[in-house]
Amino acid sequence: MKQTNLSIFIPHVGCPHMCSFCDQRSISGEQSAPTAEQVKTVIEEQAAHLADRGTTAEIAFFGGSFTAIPRDYMLGLLDAAKAAVERFPCYTGIRCSTRPDRIDEEIVDILRHYGVTAVELGAQSMSGEVLSANDRGHTAEDVRRASALIKQSGIELGLQMMTGLYKDTPERCLETADEFIKLLPATVRIYPTVILKNTRLGELFERGEYRSFSFDETIDLCAELLRKFTENGVRVIRLGLHASPDVERGMLGGVYHPALREIVESRIFLNDMKSRLAELGKGRHIIYTDPKNLSKAKGQKKCNVKALAELGYEIDILPLDGEYLLIK
């Protein structure tokens, strides 16, 4: 049975800081925070659709500061979600995203009481300089402390990181990944920075004081990050912002693509093919991979095939069940 999220966005409510990159209304497409009654209605309406499709879902409160919103409002939302989980078999749990500095023992006890199954922390970076430069208002130590509390409670831990922030470097991003892995999260989300209008990053960008990573730099970096997390048993459940007309209209720069993960996975295939082919020598080769990998191996518009041709490798990529890369 397919598992998904029923995402409910709570934009800006409870945020104690306006981070340099943030315009959540553009990111989420939501203009105002929903009431508990509205959330209850949405959850009930979606239950029938999920059941018809044979899909289960976690009720997910996103927006970045769930545990920082007014307490009565948070409890009202949790009441609605908990009642739905108990009533509808299609709902398997509740997850939320929040700030690392808005997690303490009391909050964790409340989340456990309501049956919250996963908490994602918007850590963004483990570099103190990057966090400070982007007005995050929390430290790397806050991430470590909050992660430990969540893990100790038995709630699943998720961590979110961004790449290409102000004062960021690829090296700092890889160091952040290493720090994340030490915290033993179950999941990670990777968000390359999108520079939006009406944000501090947007102002810095327009003044020429800030340049994010290029598209190609970001793809190479995310390929390293995806491999690193995967090899250490951490599931990357999102790579790049969700497709959104609001983001497309409001972006000034940065990296955004609706198929970003597929492009990154294709880059991993290219890197692996280059490494293997270097051992075999230039010339004509046949590469076999599982049918589900064919499009990633070839790349968008056969870009991987073309890139290898420029290096002197004439290749055909053919399907073979169960193979990752078999080269002859």
Q: Which of 82, 93, 70 is nearest to 6 (CA)?
A: 93
pLDDT of residue 190: 98
Determine the pLDDT at residue 31. 59
Q: Which of 73, 74, 88 is nearest to 6 (CA)?
A: 88
In Å, what is the CA distance from 116 to each residue of 93, 96, 112, 120, 298? 6, 8, 6, 11, 41
pLDDT exceeds 80 at position 35? yes
Length of the chain: 328
Residues of the chain with CATH 3.20.20.70: 2-257
294 backbone φψ class: left, alpha, beta (φ>0; ψ -120 to 50): alpha
Per-residue pLDDT tens for 181-238? 999 999 999 999 999 998 999 999 999 999 999 999 999 999 999 999 999 999 999 9
What phi and psi values does residue 33 have, to the nearest 5 degrees? -75, 135
Find the helix or strand (DSSP H, E) in which 112 lies: helix 105-113
User: pLDDT at position 238, please?
Assistant: 96
Contact 62, 118 (CB under 8 A): no
CA gap 238, 189 in Å, rounded: 5
- Contact assessment for residue 9 and residue 23, using Cβ atoms and an 8 Å cutoff: no
Q: Which of the pair, 16 or 86, is modelled with greater confidence?
A: 86
**pLDDT average, residue stretch 98-121:** 97
pLDDT at 215: 97
For the chain, strand residue ranges (E) read 2-9, 55-62, 91-98, 116-124, 156-163, 187-192, 194-196, 235-239, 251-254, 283-289, 313-319, 326-327
- Residue 14 clears pLDDT 90, i.e. is over it: no
Q: Measure the CA angle with vertex 74, ends 69 and 78; round to 5°.
A: 150
Supply the mean pLDDT for the chain: 93
Position 1 scores a pLDDT of 64
Fold of the CATH domain 2-257 = TIM Barrel (3.20.20)
pLDDT digits (tens, 9 = 90+) for 271-319: 999 999 999 999 999 999 999 999 999 999 999 999 999 999 999 999 9
The per-residue pLDDT for 30 is 47
Report the C-alpha gap between 40 and 77 in whole angstroms. Answer: 8
Band (pLDDT 50/70/90 cuts) for residue 24 is: low
Sign, Cα dihedral of 115, 15, 172, 144? negative
pLDDT for 18 = 77
Is residue 162 within 8 Å of 127, Cβ to Cβ?
no
Question: Is there a contact between 304 and 266 (Cβ–Cβ < 8 Å)?
Answer: yes
Distance CA 13, CA 124 (A): 19
Question: pTM, whole model, 2 decimals?
Answer: 0.92
- pLDDT for 246 equals 79
pLDDT for 13? 67
Q: How many angstroms separate the Cα of 215 from the Cα of each of 71, 222, 268, 293, 324?
A: 41, 10, 15, 23, 26
Structure confidence at residue 29 (pLDDT): 44
103: pLDDT strictly greater than 50: yes
Strand partners, 326: 288
Smallest CA-to-CA distance from 125 within 135, 115, 117 is with 135
